[in-house]
Chain A
Amino acid sequence: MQSPQPAQPRRRSSEIGALLTIDFVTHGLPRTRTVTFEACRDELPRGTVSSWTSSAPANWQMPSVSPPSMTDSDQATAALLDFSASITAPLSLRYSRLVSCRQMTDAEDDWQSRAIDVHALTGRIMLANGRTMSLGWSGFGDGLAGMAEGPKRARVEWVSRCAGTAAPVDAGDIPVVLAPQPAAVVAHEAIGHFSEAAASAAIDLRHRLGCRLAADDFDVFDDPTRGAAARYGVDDEGTVAVGPTQIVDGGVLVQQLHGRGSARTAQTLSTANARAAQITQQPIPRLSNLVVPAGTRSQDELVDCLGDGLLVHHLSHGFSRGLEIEARIVLAELVRSGRRTGIFVGDGRLTERIDVLARCIARGDRIELNPNALCGKHGQILYDVGTMAPAMLLSQLRIAR
């Protein structure tokens, strides 16, 4: 009789890094904190997972790495105060920067490593009408350039000023033009999340393949090598990211995003989309950068084609739930006879099905990266889930109060 083999580790990972956090509330003083960390995760057969804070054990034979350097906190504080001063409304903000080096291996591969360098600027701006507007910027690097004077900052100031005067939006099924930011939110919720394999590798979602999600001129890609919010050469299971994965072809879902476990279940290969918000958590299939290619018309032409309807300038709090998506309408503008009116509305919700983009009639001629790359799923928040999309003309969008 053969003696039982000792349990062999299936997957190991380690991370060393630092988190800088700065809080600022109008009329208060900035509050700065730094946390340094070093931790490991060891995944064993039969499902036991151990994680602990320490350097990797010597018998792991992991290559040594130097702790990554952190943003100068004085520089980040100055940028945050400068940004705050440019917004005349009261606000509360949190700036976070995470820099780390993550290394991972499994029974099949040598150690792989990837650098993590992300930021988030989150908080709320109090509007003139007493409502609040959430701010969520995030993505690669320190993000300080975006907080300086420029179009990104100017847009936040403009949206918050207009939203403060906006009347409640009327409910109904309304023709709309989505500016690039709201178009990105809708694409992320409707196409992006639907294309992800399940967090549990035991669940097979292949029946989704072939579903129509968008109009027949839509091709959509996921691309961690695009140089957008997410930037990685290997995912958190050590799978090398080669280039873009086409997930929608002619408006139909043709490929799902996988890590190794879900790929095995679906009898396919990993698409290098296994991502863990932090080292103690299980890598699960997540988007990297969702890319919706541009169309041929300018946004002004799309508005001209709209006739009567809404130009949606800004959405927040998007989420998907099964076959439905929702998002909060922060700012929209009435359009009459193809002309913007300068009459702003907000404080509503779009409530739609995931195939809402099948009603897309035309797309704008340039794509923009949504500055908000925060995405929460299955208890994990990533700072760097990018979406690049053009403006879109939709024949109809369901709006609720």
Chain B
Amino acid sequence: MTIDRTIVFARCRDGQIIHHFAHRVMANAGRAAVGACDQDAVGLSDLARNEWHRHSARLPPGRRSQLVAEMGHVIDIGNVRPYSIVHANGSILQGLPSPHLPLVAEAIKWADVPRKPLLTFGPSATLALVNFILDGIPGAIDAAAWPFDSELTVCDTGQSPYPPQHRDNATASRIGTGTEHRDEGDDIAFMLLQRSEVWQRPVNALYNMRQRNLAIGCERKMPDPSGPVIVFDTLSAEVEPTLSRSSWLATWYLVDADRPIWGEERVAVAIDTSKILRDDVRTIGTPWPACIYDPIEGECYGMAPHLFAQSSSLAVSVLQ
């Protein structure tokens, strides 16, 4: 496998400072080089800054510091692909956002949520949870250690909703008992593209190294809920991967009578990781682009559906 890809983007995290990045990745089997790039991202600065401000206006003040707007081009030989992605702590706001995201900055406190709603995980929260559980599996994956419902499928793929990391011809494999290693070419390309601007840092240096991008699916579906629903749109783990009780910080929004409204404050969520996705997993709709924002590891993209959350396996409390 040979890759020769140039990635150029302008990124804005605060509405003011723009970070331009331009680089070229060349990979062949087990060797790779970050090569000389003759492109620049100066022309994308205003776009990134404007998109940041546009999306900032639809977020409550407490979430604006989490906003990242990125405008870029992916240039493979003979093919230029422009892209734009905006996310808030991993909750994708632009670039195929999942349905029902709030469109205005109005927010509600957790204490003011009117009735006991159904709890669901949005795509990015689902991705974060599945990725965390996979990393928590000790040793080889075998049938006894598999902590997921058999209806839930988790694929390791080189395809990604984030264009700089996407490769059309990458192999995909279902993760589970007897997972085989992918080939060297896939591996080196993933390492460079997954963390395209941080090539000096090994991917997942601190945790597992088994999977690339995750594509999560489930055949057992439930219809769109009719009553009020809380969607945890992002989950940030506060502990290292484990298959026991784990602590998370969640952002959320409420959908009531088809009207979505942001949650004002983050909430603490305790999840029994060994049980939450083991049985009776049900999804709502189809998979959507998802992003885990890890303050150390950076952004990790994948595809995941909304999941109905088993309330017996999680507890929510408001942060003081």
**Chain B, Cβ-Cβ closest to A381:** B201
Is A50 among interface residues, defined by CB-CB distance under 8 A? Answer: yes
* Closest Cβ–Cβ distance, residue B18 to chain A (whole Å): 5
Q: CB within 8 Å of B: which of A117-133?
A: 120, 122-124, 126-127, 130-132
Asked whether, in the complex, the Cβ of A36 is within 8 Å of the Cβ of B33, the reply is yes
Is B95 among interface residues, defined by CB-CB distance under 8 A? Answer: no
* Bound-state Cα–Cα, A376 to B206, Å: 10
**Chain B, Cβ-Cβ closest to A118:** B200
Q: A94-B202, A134-B240, A379-B296 are in contact. Are A53 and B209 (CB under 8 A)?
A: no
Q: Which of A25-33, A143-151, A257-265, A386-394 contacts B (4 or more CB under 8 A)?
A: A25-33
* Closest Cβ–Cβ distance, residue A316 to chain B (whole Å): 8
Which residues of chain A are near B202, meaning CB under 8 Å? Answer: 19, 21, 94, 96, 120, 122
* Bound-state Cα–Cα, A328 to B21, Å: 37
Is A178 among interface residues, defined by CB-CB distance under 8 A? Answer: no
Is A39 among interface residues, defined by CB-CB distance under 8 A? Answer: yes
Q: Which of B149-157, B190-198, B279-287 contacts A (4 or more CB under 8 A)?
A: B190-198
Q: CB within 8 Å of A: which of B169-223?
A: 181, 184, 187-188, 191-192, 197-202, 205-206, 208-210
**Chain A, Cβ-Cβ closest to B30:** A33
Asked whether, in the complex, the Cβ of A34 is within 8 Å of the Cβ of B32, the reply is yes
Is B96 among interface residues, defined by CB-CB distance under 8 A? Answer: no
Which residues of chain B are near A120, meaning CB under 8 Å? Answer: 202, 205
Asked whether, in the complex, the Cβ of A90 is within 8 Å of the Cβ of B21, the reply is no
Q: A49-B18, A52-B22 are in contact. Are A35 and B198 (CB under 8 A)?
A: no
**A16-57 interface mask toward B, CB cutoff 8 Å, 1 = contact, 0 = none?**
010101010000100111111111000000011111111100
Which residues of chain A are near B298, meaning CB under 8 Å? Answer: 379
Number of interface residues of B (CB under 8 A): 47
**Chain A, Cβ-Cβ closest to B7:** A53
* Bound-state Cα–Cα, A278 to B17, Å: 19
Which residues of chain B are near A376, meaning CB under 8 Å? Answer: 206, 295-296
* Bound-state Cα–Cα, A49 to B239, Å: 33
**Chain A, Cβ-Cβ closest to B34:** A37
* Bound-state Cα–Cα, A277 to B200, Å: 8
* Closest Cβ–Cβ distance, residue A348 to chain B (whole Å): 12
Is B77 among interface residues, defined by CB-CB distance under 8 A? Answer: no
* Bound-state Cα–Cα, A19 to B197, Å: 14
Which residues of chain A are near B16, meaning CB under 8 Å? Answer: 47
* Bound-state Cα–Cα, A98 to B34, Å: 14
Which residues of chain A are near B167, meaning CB under 8 Å? Answer: none
Which residues of chain A are near B31, meaning CB under 8 Å? Answer: 33-34
Contacting A381 at CB < 8 Å: which of B45, B187, B205?
A: B205
Is A374 among interface residues, defined by CB-CB distance under 8 A? Answer: yes
Asked whether, in the complex, the Cβ of A48 is within 8 Å of the Cβ of B34, the reply is no
**Chain A, Cβ-Cβ closest to B296:** A376
Q: A47-B17, A94-B205, A98-B200 are in contact. Are A35 and B33 (CB under 8 A)?
A: yes
Is B259 among interface residues, defined by CB-CB distance under 8 A? Answer: no
**B137-152 interface mask toward A, CB cutoff 8 Å, 1 = contact, 0 = none?**
0111000000000000
Is B40 among interface residues, defined by CB-CB distance under 8 A? Answer: yes
Asked whether, in the complex, the Cβ of B23 is within 8 Å of the Cβ of A52, the reply is yes
* Closest Cβ–Cβ distance, residue A244 to chain B (whole Å): 28
**B25-39 interface mask toward A, CB cutoff 8 Å, 1 = contact, 0 = none?**
000001111111110
Asked whether, in the complex, the Cβ of B206 is within 8 Å of the Cβ of A280, the reply is no
Q: A49-B18, A51-B20 are in contact. Are A374 and B197 (CB under 8 A)?
A: no
**B113-141 interface mask toward A, CB cutoff 8 Å, 1 = contact, 0 = none?**
00000000000000000000000001110
Asked whether, in the complex, the Cβ of A90 is within 8 Å of the Cβ of B139, the reply is yes
Asked whether, in the complex, the Cβ of B138 is within 8 Å of the Cβ of A48, the reply is no
Is B54 among interface residues, defined by CB-CB distance under 8 A? Answer: no
Asked whether, in the complex, the Cβ of A32 is within 8 Å of the Cβ of B33, the reply is no
Asked whether, in the complex, the Cβ of B34 is within 8 Å of the Cβ of A39, the reply is yes
Which residues of chain B are near A50, meaning CB under 8 Å? Answer: 19-22, 40-42
Asked whether, in the complex, the Cβ of B197 is within 8 Å of the Cβ of A280, the reply is yes
**Chain A, Cβ-Cβ closest to B11:** A49
Q: A33-B188, A34-B30, A328-B240 are in contact. Are A94 and B209 (CB under 8 A)?
A: yes
**Chain B, Cβ-Cβ closest to A282:** B19
**Chain A, Cβ-Cβ closest to B27:** A35
Which residues of chain A are near B36, meaning CB under 8 Å? Answer: 38, 53-55
Is A317 among interface residues, defined by CB-CB distance under 8 A? Answer: yes
Asked whether, in the complex, the Cβ of B205 is within 8 Å of the Cβ of A130, the reply is no
**Chain A, Cβ-Cβ closest to B197:** A280
* Bound-state Cα–Cα, A35 to B295, Å: 24
**A269-286 interface mask toward B, CB cutoff 8 Å, 1 = contact, 0 = none?**
000000001111100000
**Chain B, Cβ-Cβ closest to A34:** B31
Q: A50-B20, A94-B209 are in contact. Are A37 and B40 (CB under 8 A)?
A: no
* Bound-state Cα–Cα, A39 to B200, Å: 11
Which residues of chain B are near A328, meaning CB under 8 Å? Answer: 240
Which residues of chain B are near A98, meaning CB under 8 Å? Answer: 200
* Bound-state Cα–Cα, A277 to B34, Å: 17
Q: A122-B205, A124-B138, A328-B240 are in contact. Are A47 and B37 (CB under 8 A)?
A: no
Asked whether, in the complex, the Cβ of A32 is within 8 Å of the Cβ of B30, the reply is yes
Which residues of chain B are near A54, meaning CB under 8 Å? Answer: 36-38
Is A92 among interface residues, defined by CB-CB distance under 8 A? Answer: yes
* Closest Cβ–Cβ distance, residue B69 to chain A (whole Å): 15
**Chain A, Cβ-Cβ closest to B39:** A52
Is A155 among interface residues, defined by CB-CB distance under 8 A? Answer: no
Beyond A120-B205, A277-B198, list 10 extra A-B contacts (CB 8 Å).
A33-B187, A34-B30, A35-B33, A37-B33, A48-B18, A50-B42, A52-B20, A53-B24, A54-B36, A90-B139
Q: Which 8 pairs, one residue from A and one from B, show the smallest C-beta to C-beta distance?
A: A47-B17, A37-B34, A53-B23, A376-B296, A126-B139, A52-B22, A54-B36, A50-B20
Could you list some 22 contacts between A and B, CB below 8 A?
A: A33-B188, A35-B32, A35-B33, A35-B188, A35-B192, A38-B36, A47-B16, A49-B18, A49-B19, A49-B20, A50-B21, A50-B42, A51-B197, A54-B38, A55-B36, A98-B200, A132-B138, A277-B201, A278-B199, A278-B201, A317-B239, A379-B295
Interface residues of B (CB under 8 A from A): 16-24, 30-38, 40-42, 45, 138-140, 181, 184, 187-188, 191-192, 197-202, 205-206, 208-210, 239-240, 295-296, 298
